Structures are given as C-alpha cells and as structure tokens.
A and B are shown apart, each in its own frame.
Chain A
C-alpha cells in the first residue's frame, strides 16, 4: 500500500511535467485546430541551447533555464511562421505534414551542431531526498511539481481574467466569430504559439535537468508524451491536459514499479489505446463531443 501511494505521488510529480507539455500542445491545437508535431523537437532545440550556454559559459541554473525557454520560443515562432502562418487557411494536412518535416529538419540541425548525441545538463538542485514517514520525495520532483502548478495558475489567470485571455478563448472557440468582434485573430494565434512554446521550454528545462543529460531524441519523446497526455485529457481542453498529464504520470510510475521499466511506454500506449476506443473525446473532451452532437440534432 505504501508502495502504491509512493508511486501515485511520484507519478503526479512526473505527470506535472507531462501536463505542461500537454498544455502547450492543447493551446496550439485549440487556436489552430491542427497538430503541431514539431512541438517536441522545437523545445528540444531550446534545451540544447541551454546546454550550449552551460558548456560555453558555465552559466548558472537561472541563465540556463532562461536560455532554454527563450530558445524554445524562438524556434516556436519559426515553426509558426513556416508551417502555420503560410498555410493558415484550408490546408490542415499540409500544416501537419510540414510540421513533421520541420521536426526532421530540427533533429538534423541538432545532430550536425552537436555531434556527440548525449550532452550533460546541470541539475537545478542537488539535495538529498526528503523523508516523510515511509514516503520519499526527490527535491527536483517537488520543484517540478511546484513550478508546473504555478505556471498552470498563471495560465488560468491569463485566460480567465485578461483581455488577451478572452481573445484567445474566443479564437479557440470560433475564429470567424472572433474576427467579427474585431479581434486580431492572426496576432492571437502567434501569441498562443509563443505561450505554448514558453510552457514547453519550462517543461523541457525541468525534465532535462532532472535527467542530467539531453539527446536529440528528447524531441520525439516530448511530442509523444505531450500528445498522449493531451489525447487522454481531451483535445483543446486545458483542464483535460492537466488531468491527462497527471494520469499518464501515475500510470507510468505504477507500471515501472509493478511491471518493470521496460513496460513504462508500453503501458502509456495501452492506456491511450483504451481511451481512443472507449472514450475518444478524452477525460474532458467528451462533453464537447456530446454537446456538438446534441446541437446538430436540435437545430
């Protein structure tokens, strides 16, 4: 029982980083109605820029984190310009394919510039785990959870209590109607990309610094985790992204403990499969799916 509880807590802390990735994914999906497959790779580039700053200047944690986030945002803007702005109208498949192409391009660039594949990444904190009765907490996991929670609260405030948040929600719900209100839809979309990339950058920094190393494969990994967490929660839903991320973290932590590390990803895919079959709208998206159905019936 203690093991189970320990796994749940570990899973929630791990899952908080997945939640950040999923929030980024879902923000972009919400305003664009398109998947940005190169989301993971673009924050991977951010993390490599963080590594570069570390290796070249022996910078401190704050500077490395800032470099990672700024790098992720710059690459995010690049992706938006190339894949989503140029073909904003009527070419959903083209945007998705081109985001895949950019993914490959980003990975190639990183392997050319960083030929050693695996690079060190300094930890944010080095402290012994905290013992609380029978439970253990790694300090870096606690930090990860705290930062993720703070970012989520910040995003909630931004969406619910600012003019920009209102515009972003309006664009996600109906871009055409948002235009009629005089909202600058293009600018809102670009800013949503910037925010999503910043969230991804923070997530990348937390995850990579906890791992202590980075490889170009982190891009693939981040896209997978973010995508799965978003699908579990429901596409386009921010509460869904949070729940999906936490659920994914808990399921992974449990399967590592009870089944073995090699089952970690397998159980994540299995969970996704179950959802796609039995609850395709995800935890929070189902309501929207049903309402849409009801609306078409009502007329």
Chain B
C-alpha cells in the first residue's frame, strides 16, 4: 500500500534519514520502533508531505506521491495523528472534528455530519464532551480526539506518531485497544512507538529504525522482545555496553 524507497531527509546540514526503505501492507498494523532521534517523526513528516525528501521516492496505492504537499497527501487518503496530539485547544471537540474534515467542508456537508455521528458512536466519551474545549480534556481524551480528528479525513492509511506518549498505563491500554478496533474495521495503520512492549502486541509487522536507517524488518517474535526493547531505546551500538536494561514499562519521553 505504502512503499518508501531510499528516502533521505535533512534539516539543514543535519541528516535525519539516510536512505530508508520500508513498506506498509494494506489491512495490517505496521510498527516503526527506534530510539529517540532515530528519525521516526521525520519519516512521518516526510510521508505527510511536510518535510521534503532529499532523495528517494514514496508510493501510495501505486501512485508516486514524492514531494506532494500536505493537502494533496490528505486527499490521497493518508492522515496523521501527530506526536503530542496537537488538538486545537480553544476549539471545542465538535469543531476539532470538523477541522479534521476540512478538505471536504465545501461540498460534502451532509457526509461530514454523518462521519461525526459515526466517530461519536466509536468514541462516546467525545460525544459527551462535544461542546467542551479540547484544551480542557484529559491527556487520554485528547489522544482519542486526535485519533477521531484524523479519522474525519476518511483515511485509507492512518499514521500515528507515539500515541502512548505521556499517558498513564491504563490509558495506554485503552488507546491500543482503539488501534486494534480501528484496524479490525478495515483501516490500515502505521504506528510509530517508543512503547515497544505494547506495539509488538498489536503489530503484524515491524521495522527498527536506528540512526536514520532501517536495521530490522520482520514479524513480532522474530526478535526477542528483550532485544527489540534494547534497540528501540538505546540503539544497537550501545547494546553490549548496557546488557541489562530495565524492560519493565517503557514510559516514553517526557515533555
């Protein structure tokens, strides 16, 4: 469904991606794991059309989308749930959802209204808080809203950048349940995570990204969870120096 071939991207002179190859199969949950600074978010931004790649190509549904702007990418059917959720804090829940359907607002008002009802059935808690300002929601509710808002774009591929970031363990479980449900209902999911433990439970396929390059591609179980967590947190280079990393509960970055 999505093929990323040899993508390189840089911020000024700092090279964040150094020839990344990966692919996302239709109908599955694909996961991208890797330590901080490996380039995971940059890759998401590049696919979303916000960062322009220096080299390489991106194909989506057999069409070349390399270098296309963000609105074109959203129109093609890729929506992103950004890191840190980035809901619109001074808009209420309902307005946030409408903003998610921005590109369809002109002509398809009835369809958008239908989609909002649909999203509200999936997330009853958002319906209860429909008129509440998004900035006053709890972290978990904001994450739900961010997912719901992305769904309003009717994506074929839903990309999620660290949805568990900064959330309590119980809430993280709920978010992952939502991810599985969405996938069961037919949405293809491409997930970037720090929480390797949770991610490996839902993923059909996963990639390890280290220092701007894919260093492993396979199914969960092909690498021991221990090794994945090692590499997802520290990168391969330091593995030997710190053999007994606590693998209890990955909390992710804090901000």
- Check A173–B105 contact: CB distance below 8 A: no
Bound: A291/B142 CA distance, A: 14
> In the complex, which residues of chain B have a beta carbon less than 8 angstroms from the beta carbon of A182?
70-71, 73-75, 102-103, 153
> In the complex, which residues of chain B have a beta carbon less than 8 angstroms from the beta carbon of A180?
48, 50, 70, 74, 79-80, 82, 86, 150
Q: A166-B98, A170-B99 are in contact. Are A179 and B70 (CB under 8 A)?
A: yes
Bound: A177/B149 CA distance, A: 11
Instruction: Determine which of B74, B82, B135 lies in contact with A295 in the assembled complex, contact meaning CB atoms within 8 Å.
Output: B135
> In the complex, which residues of chain A have a beta carbon less than 8 angstroms from the beta carbon of B86?
174, 176-177, 180
**Is B254 part of the contact surface with A, judged by Cβ < 8 Å?**
yes
**Is A169 part of the contact surface with B, judged by Cβ < 8 Å?**
yes
- A residues 149-206 near B (Cβ < 8 Å) are 163, 166-167, 169-170, 173-174, 176-184
> In the complex, which residues of chain B have a beta carbon less than 8 angstroms from the beta carbon of A295?
89, 135
- B residues 70-111 near A (Cβ < 8 Å) are 70-71, 73-75, 79-80, 82, 86-91, 95, 98-100, 102-103, 105-106
B20 CB, nearest partner CB in chain A, Å: 21
- Check B71–A299 contact: CB distance below 8 A: no
**Is B201 part of the contact surface with A, judged by Cβ < 8 Å?**
no
Q: A169-B91, A173-B89, A176-B82 are in contact. Are A163 and B254 (CB under 8 A)?
A: no
- B residues 106-158 near A (Cβ < 8 Å) are 106, 135-136, 138-139, 149-150, 153
B56 CB, nearest partner CB in chain A, Å: 21
7 A-B pairs whose Cβ atoms sit less than 8 Å apart in the complex = A163-B105, A169-B90, A176-B82, A177-B86, A183-B99, A183-B102, A184-B71
Q: A177-B82, A182-B153 are in contact. Are A167 and B88 (CB under 8 A)?
A: no
- Check A291–B135 contact: CB distance below 8 A: yes
**Is A288 part of the contact surface with B, judged by Cβ < 8 Å?**
yes
> In the complex, which residues of chain B have a beta carbon less than 8 angstroms from the beta carbon of A179?
50, 70
A269 CB, nearest partner CB in chain B, Å: 30
**Is B250 part of the contact surface with A, judged by Cβ < 8 Å?**
no
Q: A180-B80, A183-B102 are in contact. Are A166 and B89 (CB under 8 A)?
A: no
Q: Name the residue of chain A whose CB is nearest to the CB of B81.
A: A180
> In the complex, which residues of chain B have a beta carbon less than 8 angstroms from the beta carbon of A173?
88-91
Bound: A184/B89 CA distance, A: 20
- Check A166–B105 contact: CB distance below 8 A: yes
Bound: A168/B179 CA distance, A: 31
> In the complex, which residues of chain B have a beta carbon less than 8 angstroms from the beta carbon of A177?
82, 86-88
- Check B88–A169 contact: CB distance below 8 A: yes
Beyond A178-B99, A182-B70, A298-B138, 6 additional contacts (C-beta under 8 Å) are A166-B98, A170-B91, A170-B99, A174-B86, A177-B87, A180-B80
Instruction: Determine which of A176, A181, A184, A291 lies in contact with B99 in the assembled complex, contact meaning CB atoms within 8 Å.
Output: A181
Bound: A169/B89 CA distance, A: 10
Chain B, interface residues (CB within 8 Å), range: 20 to 34
> In the complex, which residues of chain A have a beta carbon less than 8 angstroms from the beta carbon of B166?
299
Residues of A in contact (CB 8 Å), total: 21
| Chain A, interface SS category | helix
> In the complex, which residues of chain A have a beta carbon less than 8 angstroms from the beta carbon of B80?
180
Residue interface bits B38-72, CB-to-A below 8 A is 1, else 0: 00000000001010000000000000000000110
**Is B240 part of the contact surface with A, judged by Cβ < 8 Å?**
no
B107 CB, nearest partner CB in chain A, Å: 11
- B residues 17-36 near A (Cβ < 8 Å) are none
Residue interface bits B192-225, CB-to-A below 8 A is 1, else 0: 0000000000000000000000000000000000
| Complex A-B, nearest 7 residue pairs according to Cβ-Cβ distance, in ascending order | A182-B74, A182-B71, A177-B86, A173-B88, A182-B103, A181-B102, A163-B105
B252 CB, nearest partner CB in chain A, Å: 11
> In the complex, which residues of chain A have a beta carbon less than 8 angstroms from the beta carbon of B153?
181-182
B24 CB, nearest partner CB in chain A, Å: 18
Q: A173-B91, A180-B86, A181-B99 are in contact. Are A163 and B106 (CB under 8 A)?
A: yes
Bound: A173/B73 CA distance, A: 22
> In the complex, which residues of chain A have a beta carbon less than 8 angstroms from the beta carbon of B89?
173-174, 291, 295
Bound: A114/B79 CA distance, A: 55
Bound: A166/B136 CA distance, A: 19
> In the complex, which residues of chain A have a beta carbon less than 8 angstroms from the beta carbon of B74?
180-182
A117 CB, nearest partner CB in chain B, Å: 44
Q: Name the residue of chain B whose CB is nearest to the CB of A171.
A: B88
Q: Name the residue of chain A whose CB is nearest to the CB of B48.
A: A180
Residue interface bits A261-299, CB-to-B below 8 A is 1, else 0: 000000000000000000000000000100100010011
Q: Name the residue of chain A whose CB is nearest to the CB of B72.
A: A182
> In the complex, which residues of chain B have a beta carbon less than 8 angstroms from the beta carbon of A170?
88, 91, 99, 102
